Structure 1
Amino acid sequence: MATPIFKPSISHSHRLFDSLFFHTNLPNQVSIPKKRPSLSSASSELNPVRPEVYFCVGTHIIPHPKKVEKGGEDAFFVSSYNGGVIAVADGVSGWAEQNVNPALFSQELMANASSLVGDEEVDYDPRILLRKAHATTSSIGSATVIVAMLERNGILKIANVGDCGLRVIRKGQIIFGTSPQDHYFDCPYQLSSEVVGQTYLDATVSSVELMEGDTIVMGSDGLFDNVFDNEIVSMMARYVDVAEAAKALANLAHNHSTDSNFDSPYSLEARTRGFDVPWWKKIVGMKLTGGKLDDITVVVGQVVSS
């Protein structure tokens, strides 16, 4: 079996496709109001109906510091369809070694997904959305990807391939989180232009019932490699505005990524997988530490009712 393309620590960011696209590094927030069903007061008392819910979304991206001028390799979109759709794709930087722009695949994949969210065949299934978006992507390259689709009844459907992630926070606690998929350390599952890559069938599919007040934090591995879950919870508790929350989380991840002394989730995972400093450094108490320089994409969604 062909070896999957290695995904090094250098990655990028950028770009939204959809009527609700936002540009890199601008504080972004959008609310998507929905109407309640029309009911008489009598019927409402006898048969209480749960209010419809939707996302109020804030986004922020910080590119890898050495590749800002080259654009980004991450891509994402926010859609108002139904209760809201959010997605992040992280282009695999290893393609640059083959003179391929790693951004093109992730950008086209997100563009295709954003245009297909209302497709009848998709039927609000994130895995089918990945299948159709992947099938219509013609660019060379590969990307990790996560898609979350919120139904108006509060059911959040998630499909992810690779190490982009999502957390659901309720009343100061994480009640759900996705797990990364990888072949080996720093080589995640990825949708690819090559037949040896993964497909929508390899996606991890999840479903979570949300309620008003829940917070969704989605991001590329640039976020989750540099920020612990308890830090995410603490940061979300400090902000009401979703755009400010997304910006604060991205800044925290960036600061950690440039700190060689910070014992990050990435360095902790590396040591767990057998990567560490030479033995003679261990003798004097040294260990592998530091954040991971990368593109950092953060999408924060607040669940609100009509």
Structure 2
Amino acid sequence: MDSPQPTVPNRSREKGLKMVCGSFYIPKQKDSKPQGDDAHFICAEKQTIGVADGVGGWSSKGVDAGQYARELMANSIKAIQDEEKGGVDPRRVIDEAYSNTNVEGSSTACILTLKNNKLHAANVGDSGFMLIREWKDVYKSPVQQHSFNHPYQLGNETSCDRPSAARTYKVPVKLWDVIVMGTDGLFDNIFADNIVDVAKMVIENGAEPEQVAWAIAEHAYYNSLDKFAATPYAEAALMAGKERLGGKPDDITVIVAFIVEK
């Protein structure tokens, strides 16, 4: 079932809009495991972006936790290329990518496309996206998790979730909106209003999307290493009855998209 749609006003119907995107990735173990467990893609031609976060628990079973995420995103790109002229359907992309990903492991996933001046997204787990307009956090996709630190995840094991668990969203956009997509390494380590502050600071200094993604990722990374930082992860732990301070060391993927005229 589709989620209730967020009420975001659209004042841009008279103009065709597009996304101009850039990304930055910081693996948790930079030297020993430079690929990390996250994966992402940007498909400018199809105006579609995606992120995935391989579930690290597979490492204890001798499985590369990032392999599933990387194959899922590679298969998402293939599914996007097969889409008809009507545009990309993120939910269908997740279905097809899941069907063609047969390696061991599991992963969260978020696919987002821009068509008809609206963001169309499908999400499984605690990766996600947020919309910034006029330096305000206008919308943030909700987290899907079974319990604290146990997100929904796609995989081939019986304990994993299926694409039918994906929540779908349609969010109208307008000229000069900024989209920030990321894995939980981003959203666990920096609050939405701080993401807005960082984006505002660097964009007003002329930064391009990749530079904005780098600045946001760096702030999240520093927080992840700070044992006393106020973070969404520490806040969520407290709400779950667990006392924990500081950030959460994790792979951090950030994609930033500017909404501009075609």
C-alpha RMSD of the superposition:
1.6
Q: Provide, for residues 106-144 of structure 1, a one-character-per-residue CA deviation record: whole Å limited to 9, x for no partner.
A: 000000001111324795211111000000011110000
Structure 1: gaps of 5 or more residues: 1-47, 277-287
Amino acid corresponding to residue 190 of structure 1 in structure 2: Q
> Is 1:216–1:302's contact at 8 Å kept on the other side of the alignment?
yes
Measure the CA separation in 1 of the matches of 2:13 and 2:118.
15
Q: Provide, for residues 34-85 of structure 1, a one-character-per-residue CA deviation record: whole Å limited to 9, x for no partner.
A: xxxxxxxxxxxxxx97222111111111111x45322211000000234x10
Does residue 175 in structure 1 map to residue 138 in structure 2?
A: yes
Amino acid corresponding to residue 261 of structure 1 in structure 2: F
Amino acid corresponding to residue 255 of structure 2 in structure 1: V
Does residue 291 in structure 1 map to residue 255 in structure 2?
A: no
2:234 aligns to what SS in structure 1? Answer: helix
Does residue 270 in structure 1 map to residue 222 in structure 2?
A: no
Cα distance change on mapping 1:49 and 1:159 into 2, 3 Å: closer
Cα distance change on mapping 1:223 and 1:49 into 2, 3 Å: closer
Structure 2: gaps of 5 or more residues: 1-11
1:143 to 100, 107, 112: 107
**TM-score for both structures, normalised by structure 1:** 0.77
1:58 to 8, 14, 22: 22
Residue 52 of structure 2: aligned partner: 89
Measure the CA separation in 2 of the matches of 1:51 and 1:79.
22
> Is 1:76–1:86's contact at 8 Å kept on the other side of the alignment?
yes
Measure the CA separation in 1 of the matches of 2:251 and 2:199.
21
> Is 2:13–2:117's contact at 8 Å kept on the other side of the alignment?
no
1:251 to 210, 218, 239: 218
Measure the CA separation in 2 of the matches of 1:231 and 1:68.
28
Amino acid corresponding to residue 302 of structure 1 in structure 2: F
Amino acid corresponding to residue 50 of structure 1 in structure 2: E
Structure with larger Rg: 1
- Structure 1 ranges of 4+ moved more than 3 A: 120-123
> Is 1:242–1:301's contact at 8 Å kept on the other side of the alignment?
yes
Residue 92 of structure 2: aligned partner: 128
Decide which moves more: 105-114 or 197-206.
197-206
Measure the CA separation in 1 of the matches of 2:247 and 2:60.
23
> How many percent identity over aligned positions?
36
Measure the CA separation in 2 of the matches of 1:86 and 1:149.
6
Amino acid corresponding to residue 237 of structure 2 in structure 1: A
Residue 197 of structure 2: aligned partner: 234
